[in-house]
Chain A
Amino acid sequence: NAGVTQTPKFRVLKTGQSMTLLCAQDMNHEYMYWYRQDPGMGLRLIHYSVGEGTTAKGEVPDGYNVSRLKKQNFLLGLESAAPSQTSVYFCASSYEGYGYTFGSGTRLTVV
């Protein structure tokens, strides 16, 4: 099935460890996004990209970095994980804001 694929689906990290979440889309969408979802707070935008080689900060960017070296991939990095980064992470892509397709999410626990 075409769409947005996130890897991994689950991960447990120790405080201070680093990791990269990978998002891949095969719909040729220009826009890609990383959100985090916490109870009672909906989805909050971490970083986004409006095209290959571009990135921009969202609502909650601190502690995260991103890269969009290829149009179909959007990577989210945590350099030094903290317990406050325990969350469910969603990647999404869109065609000029008309339709947004989401990945199935990554549940990250930082202990």
Chain B
Amino acid sequence: AQTVTQSQPEMSVQEAETVTLSCTYDTSENNYYLFWYKQPPSRQMILVIRQEAYKQQNATENRFSVNFQKAAKSFSLKISDSQLGDTAMYFCAHPNFGNEKLTFGTGTRLTIIP
């Protein structure tokens, strides 16, 4: 079975600081996507950022960026200038079996401290 591992159950950081959330995954595929989702207290799943494995360049979306290490199967999320609204659960996810099924990590609960 293909797996996604998030080794940090909880993290906290001061507002305006930078924080990095870790994710490793297992796959036998060569071309695939990777995702980070945010789940605030409202429960809605919100796509934060997407990385395509065949692209060398790390994806960036405003204050959010990734460090994608394909050989190491590592996909970390960096949040710069953190804001109170970033407080949420963050899930790393990887589709497998020809992009049919999305597998999630167990999540990291991030708290931004005022």
CA distance A31 to B95 in the complex (A): 12
B61-114 at interface with A (beta carbon < 8 Å): 91, 93, 95, 98-107
- CB-based contact A45/B45 at 8 Å: no
- CB-based contact A97/B98 at 8 Å: yes
Number of interface residues of A (CB under 8 A): 25
As a 0/1 sequence over residues 81 to 111 of chain A, the CB contacts with chain B under 8 angstroms (1 = contact) are 0000000101010101111101011000000
Q: Is A33 an interface residue (CB 8 A)?
A: yes
Q: Chain A contacts of B104 at CB under 8 A?
A: 35, 42-44
CA distance A96 to B33 in the complex (A): 11
Q: Is A2 an interface residue (CB 8 A)?
A: no
Q: Is B56 an interface residue (CB 8 A)?
A: no
> Interface of A with B (CB < 8 Å)?
31, 33, 35, 40-45, 48, 50, 58-59, 88, 90, 92, 94, 96-100, 102, 104-105
Q: Chain A contacts of B16 at CB under 8 A?
A: none
Q: Chain A contacts of B33 at CB under 8 A?
A: 97-98
CA distance A41 to B91 in the complex (A): 11
**A90-B45, A102-B45, A104-B44 are contacts. A31–B106 as well, Cβ < 8 Å?**
no
Q: Chain A contacts of B43 at CB under 8 A?
A: 88, 104-105
- CB-based contact A100/B99 at 8 Å: no
Q: Is B47 an interface residue (CB 8 A)?
A: yes
CA distance A42 to B104 in the complex (A): 6
- CB-based contact A42/B91 at 8 Å: yes
Q: Chain A contacts of B47 at CB under 8 A?
A: 99-100
